[in-house]
Amino acid sequence: MNGTTAIVTGAGQGFGLALTAALATRGTRVVACSRDADRLLTATSGLPDVVALPGDITDPEFRAELVSTAWRLDLLVHNAGELGPSPLPTLRHFPLDALRGVLETTVLAPLALTQLALPLLRSSTAGTVITLSSDAAVEAYPGWGGYGAAKAALDQLSAVLAVEEPSLRVYAFDPGDMRTAMHQRAFPGEDISDRPDPTTVVPALLRLLDRRPESGRYRAADLMDDGQPTHGAPGAPDGHAGSTA
């Protein structure tokens, strides 16, 4: 990835921060964004060639600023997401305004940002779009209806984009369970220390980027071994829903 430029959303903590650090170490210029300005600036301080750009990806003006700041683009990572209410409500009681917020952050904003970034991605020799998926997109877990529906929609957008933009690589990447703030919000009061640290999952995504297989949905669990990556399938769930923030 040396000499390339990436945009990573939701980069102030968790998987987004771990990925930003790993990409920067490999020589990638990273435009990193997060809604929490103080956290983003503190977390990325000292990382080589990282441009910290605080802002909300649901804001059209900020999305335009992201793309103009990148000015060239090889990799777009849609890591930012919204869990919804905590504790997780059943669909019977899911507040519709909250669901609108989940869909706005997890589905509509990534599509809008991709639309703006497509000209830059097409001009790259290795244009790649990554959307962060979850097993909640393919498995039915009580309480995960809002988040799961949003991730399922994002998976479909990714799949269709891959067909419509054959010159790009478009990957829906399911990281599996991780020890993140979002995952903790999904299980308030529970001990989630047994979940993997996001830094241990990043190598799976880097392997995907290095190998550049055909576009599709891939699971971190299938990229951790020494074999070739295989398309992720609904298959066996990894316990709960993968967390992206």
Catalytic residues: 147
**Total domains in the fold of the chain:** 1
- What's the pLDDT at 192? 59
180: nearest Cα among 99, 241, 232? 241
Q: Does residue 120 lie in a domain region?
A: yes
Give residues with Cβ within 8 angstroms of 191, minimum separation 6: none
Q: Tally helices (H) and strands (E) across the chain.
A: 8, 7
**Structural domain boundaries, residue 146:** 5-222
Judge whether 53 lies within some domain.
yes
- The confidence score (pLDDT) of residue 21 equals 98
* Within a domain: 234: no
Q: Given the DSSP bridges, would you call strands 29-34 and 5-8 parallel, antiparallel or unpaired?
A: parallel
Check residue 155 and give its pLDDT: 98
Element spanning 186, H or E = helix 181-186
| pLDDT on residue 52 | 98
**What was the pLDDT predicted at 215?**
98
Residue 68: other Cβ atoms inside 10 A = 11
Nearest residue to 197 via CA among 24, 11, 15: 15
Residue 77 lies in a domain: yes
User: Which segments of the chain have a pLDDT < 70?
Assistant: 1-2, 180-181, 183, 186-187, 192, 225-245
Residue 242 lies in a domain: no
What pLDDT sits at residue 224?
84
For the domain that residue 106 is a member of, what is the CATH number?
3.40.50.720
